[in-house]
A = this chain, B = another copy of it.
């Protein structure tokens, strides 16, 4: 129950052991074409999403270096660790960043973003982490941010690593120029691949400007994709797994997957409430894929997570940055079901109880049943 890497179902895991092939062959081109085709359903796009051999963060860095030019005014929303990293990456690429920040567990108000865009004048791009994995929050106004960026002629880039698939972000309809996700979150594939949608507008920009980096040059990726290849040797085995993971997504349907994630998130928040535990997130912006909650008084983070793992076989995430030791984070992504949620509830109840924090099991069961 980690906020990534998540469980990889057998059908996806076993896809990796297919024999290695030439990455410049018709055989691999077929895999690549299939991945492109199926990832359109994920991004709800008519474009050709790109797949990079890197973690999701590599994909975000690719977006940054392909969109930001030195001296560009860039707005970055920051409501936690991953937003802070995003802002730093934009600065590395030469962007002049205005951070619109909020406390962990909250997101900045849309008005504060509007004001920052107005004040900065000549904003070239707006970057946001949709789902802040460190604080368990999701920005609820992505579509409005897209319009806001479009209104001032700015590019709009979304880091949706820990949300896409668990949430729907229709990139074409909303006008997201680059949307990035990772293989190991709501897609339930192994880590090592980043997926990016690129709008026509962003494609034009990338075509016009000389590349600033090579491995993460998206223009080169597009050129090679035209003839069914990747510029650099791809992680072939992970593409096999991704193809299978996307097949599962297409079979289930994006809308059903989103509803499944919403259901399990509700169950988990109810469970926490029944345990008298307080989620980190403001209820209005709480995430459906990462559920973060404050530890009860006196429960040690390391001991709790170790006991939960050793004795109950349930792994949850630690707090990140300044929240280390104060919160735990439950990932509810990809291959998650009510069975997983129920197992987590009983395992946590038992472990808390052993550590001296008593839980009313009847309340927990009633919350889950409801």
Contact = CB atoms under 8 A, between A and B. Distances in A.
A21 B17 CA distance: 18
Contact of A53 (B7, B24, B53): B53
A213 interface: yes
Interface stretch (A41-49, A171-179, A228-236): A228-236
A221 to B, nearest CB: 12
B192 A238 contact: yes
Interface stretch (A55-63, A71-79, A152-160, A254-262): A55-63
A184 B182 CA distance: 22
A214 B95 CA distance: 14
How big is chain A's contact interface, by range?
Answer: 35 or more
How many copies of this chain are found per oligomer?
2
Contacts of A192: 53, 192, 234-238
Q: Which of A88, A89, A235 has the most CB of B within 10 A?
A: A235
A214 B315 contact: no
19 contacts: A5-B236, A20-B184, A20-B190, A22-B317, A23-B191, A53-B54, A54-B58, A54-B215, A56-B233, A58-B215, A92-B212, A184-B233, A190-B235, A190-B237, A191-B234, A191-B237, A192-B237, A192-B238, A238-B238
Given A53-B53, A192-B237, A235-B235, 8 more contacts: A2-B22, A5-B22, A25-B309, A54-B58, A55-B235, A57-B233, A61-B214, A88-B214
Ordered nearest first, which 7 A-B pairs have the shortest CB separation? A192-B235, A55-B232, A190-B237, A58-B215, A191-B233, A57-B232, A55-B233
